[in-house]
Amino acid sequence: MLNLFIFLCSLVVIFSLTHIIAGMVRSSSFPRPIAHLKNYFRYGIIATGYILLLLLTCEYFHIDLTPLYVAFGGGSIVFAFAAKEILENLISGIILALQRPFTLGDKLTIGSFAGTVDSIHPRHTCLHDDSGQLLYIPNAMLIKSVLIVHPKPTATDSKPAKKRTVKKTAG
């Protein structure tokens, strides 16, 4: 009877924590380029919590999940190889969104490509080159390559610099 009580308490704790963390993700603010990924994070947390509940339930009822572990292990290896470039670009997009090495309107030079940043997406960044063509640059290329950023001029850049005098007294 004590084992059943511990089992039920564990279910309640995992279920509650899953929804508390998912609620925190839903109400938090993310940087603009990855804000739309918030729901994916939330659903991932909820799915992880439910998978933990399922595993805990199977453990309590002594259900052997070894064949399931082997199948998911093999499937995840196949998935990782198939989605390598997509995941690489998504992770690079998150890194770019957090580091913000450039902003909209900056001029970029990446290898033989050059243009003005039009938009930043999780998988790619769009540039307009001098001829008006739209270039889709994968984010992984922006992370791996030498990136030259020419920031857009600001209002203070066009004004002549004011002369400042600093007086120091020894003493």
Q: Give the model confidence (pLDDT) of 124-160 as tens digits.
A: 999 999 999 999 999 999 999 999 999 877 766 555 5
DSSP the chain: -HHHHHHHHHHHHHHHHHHHHHHHHHHS---GGGGGGHHHHHHHHHHHHHHHHHHHHHHHTT---HHHHHHHHHHHHHHHHHTHHHHHHHHHHHHHHHH--S-TT-EEEETTEEEEEEEE-SSEEEEE-TTS-EEEEEHHHHHHS-EEEEPPPPTTTSSPPPP--------
Say how far apart CA 59 and CA 45 lie, in whole Å: 21
**Is 24 among the domain residues?**
yes
State which residues form the domain around 41.
2-82
What are the DSSP E strand ranges found in 19-146?
A: 107-110, 113-120, 124-128, 134-138
pLDDT for position 157: 57
pLDDT for position 64: 92
Q: Residue 167 pLDDT > 70, yes or no?
A: no
**Is 77 among the domain residues?**
yes
Nearest 5°: the CA angle 111, 86, 112 is 10
Query: Do 72 and 41 share a structural domain?
Result: yes
Query: Do 67 and 13 share a structural domain?
Result: yes
Higher-confidence residue of 168 and 103: namely 103
The count of domains in the chain is: 2
Query: Do 145 and 74 share a structural domain?
Result: no
Query: Do 47 and 17 share a structural domain?
Result: yes
Query: Do 106 and 71 share a structural domain?
Result: no
pLDDT for position 131: 94
pLDDT for position 169: 46
Query: Do 8 and 77 share a structural domain?
Result: yes
**Is 143 among the domain residues?**
yes
* Ranges 3-7, 12-16, 89-93: which has the least confidence: 3-7
pLDDT for position 47: 86
Q: What is the CATH number of the domain that holds 107?
A: 2.30.30.60
**Is 14 among the domain residues?**
yes
Tens of pLDDT along 28-58?
666 555 566 677 777 888 888 888 888 888 8
Tens of pLDDT along 13-33?
888 888 888 777 777 666 555
Query: Do 6 and 56 share a structural domain?
Result: yes
pLDDT for position 164: 42
Q: Residue 170 pLDDT > 80, yes or no?
A: no
